Amino acid sequence: MKTIGFIGVGVMGRSMVKNLLKAGYEVAVYSRTRAKLVDFLAETGVQWCDTPAACAAGRDAVITMVGYPQDVEQVYFGENGILSAAKPGAYLIDMTTTDPALSVRIAEQGAARGLHVLDAPVSGGDTGAKNGTLSIMVGGEAADCKACLPLLEAMGKQIVYEGPAGAGQHTKMANQIAIAGTIAGVCEALAYAERAGLDPDRLLASISKGAAGSWQMENLMPKMVRADYAPGFFLKHFIKDMKIALAQPGALPVLERVCAMYGDLEAEGMGDLGTQALIRYYRGE
């Protein structure tokens, strides 16, 4: 498995491609807007393809890392889509966070064409993508996960086989549910501390190493303090993830409330900010 097609070269995709190149893979890419990748293409020397089909044709594996379920639908099933061009025996790995039911449908139709399909969403944000330390949650056939392990290890540190098609996506939903509650808690703690006149740096030093500590606190509270809202993970994409989880059976009251708060920020034009911008809701900005 040496030739890789990579579709969706955004904030995280760029770093993932670079890590694949470092690991010795030959990578071709497709993304919706070529103009945004001029510098990246010049820097890496990767081959540009004009369509998802061209990016998939003849490759040993195809990785997709796009934005929304409708984007996944388009690149797999649309005109010039992956399923129309991937060679029999190829591995298709969707690393987008998307609807579990869509992952199952891709797996079923891929299998009918002699393709090996995995849903493998990730956690770790832009930092994990840069450092090759993403957590990767894999759904599909266990043998296919094993075959793709070296490829996945080029991009991630923790790769866990979760179960059949769709299981990776369901695991990612559980991950996002936990993050939603955690980041809201971090924001509330910081907002409370600010109202009480506490020094935010001392606050972070005091509580981040104890029982309240978390990745969200360590990595995002400092950005909240500095009012640095640059996206490591887009607010609008987090809303998409939360809505996918809310569409599944069962009550999720905390997630519902956090999603509504983020929705208010998106309605005010903040969708392209990072998830740490939730602090703006608490500050009334």
> Which residues are catalytically annotated?
172
As beta bridge partners, residue 4 has 27, 61
Residue 174 three-state SS: helix
Contacts 24+ apart (CB under 8 A), 15-20: 15/126, 15/129, 15/130, 16/63, 16/65, 16/95, 16/129, 16/134, 16/155, 17/44, 17/46, 18/44, 19/129, 19/132, 19/154, 19/155, 20/151, 20/154, 20/155
- Distance between CA atoms of 70 and 68, rounded to whole angstroms? 5
- Distance between CA atoms of 75 and 53, rounded to whole angstroms? 8
- Residue 65 contacts by C-beta under 8 Å, 6 or more apart in sequence? 6, 7, 8, 9, 10, 12, 13, 16, 95, 96
As beta bridge partners, residue 47 has 28
Token code pair at residue 204: 């972070």
- Distance between CA atoms of 195 and 191, rounded to whole angstroms? 6
Strands 61-64, 47-48: pairing kind: unpaired
| Residue in 209, 189, 210, 211 with CA at minimum distance from that of residue 200 | 189
